Amino acid sequence: MSDFDAILFDFDGVLADTEPVHFACWVEALAPLGVPFEWDFFRDHCVGIDDRSMVQLLAARSSPPRDWEGLWACHAGKSALFRRRTLASPPFAPELGGFLKGLHGAYKLAVVTASSRPEIEPLLAAGGLGAYFDALVCGKEAGRHKPAPDPYLHAASLLQAKKPLVVEDSAAGVASGRAAGFEVLAVESAAGMPEAVLRRLSFVDNPEKSASG
Ligand SMILES: [Mg+2]
């Protein structure tokens, strides 16, 4: 039985399979500016960091290096494209709702993400998932971005949680949760996340007994 009092979920790559959608939207938004962007680079260097840091990274690796604020001009268009696509087809696994419903009540739940609130809230609503979360910490609401501990410390404070479990998929996110002093469960994908969490909570063998305590 687990003695965690809360579960703090990253969003992209943990609750939702959004990284391929983010990447496709970035590629389209950056193309008119003549900035190439490859999946391998995105996956290895851009997942888990905030958008501004990502654009600065892209500007610095351009040959010759580009002014990052020039590239940042495409950010609003990228965000609008992402919103349209994900709202049209919410990127949640079918079993995610049942999984969160099972945890809700037994644990306080929060979403802790570098993505902005206007990106996250409508998506959670579209997926019928918003009611399961007791708090959202989005963007720079807590201060510094991951890998700083600020977002996870703020979420734990909002939930008055003393022993939360952090669920993350990126290096920056794992570092953030650990810097906050919390246990971090690193998952490979949104698809495999529920099973990994349930295994960690020891729900799999006896869910009712575990949930009651
Ligand atoms: Mg992530």
**CA 209–ligand 1 middle distance (angstroms):** 31
Q: Which of 88, 104, 123 is the last residue of a domain?
A: 88
Residue 55 contacts by C-beta under 8 Å, 6 or more apart in sequence? 68, 71, 72, 75
Q: What is the CATH number of the domain that holds 171?
A: 3.40.50.1000
Domain count, the chain: 2
- Nearest-10 crossing angle of helices 193-201, 96-103: 20
Dihedral angle over CA of 182, 171, 79, 117, nearest 10: 0
**CA 197–ligand 1 middle distance (angstroms):** 15
DSSP 185: E
**CA 47–ligand 1 middle distance (angstroms):** 6
Instruction: Provide block-wise average pLDDT over 10 residues at a time, the chain (213 residues).
Output: 91 94 95 92 90 94 92 94 94 96 96 92 95 96 96 98 97 97 96 96 58 42
**CA 9–ligand 1 middle distance (angstroms):** 9
**CA 17–ligand 1 middle distance (angstroms):** 9
Q: Which of 60, 88, 116 is the last residue of a domain?
A: 88
Per the domain annotation, does 1 fall within a domain?
no
Q: What is the CATH number of the domain that holds 66?
A: 1.10.150
Domain co-membership, 123 together with 194: yes
Domain co-membership, 122 together with 132: yes
pTM score, whole prediction: 0.86
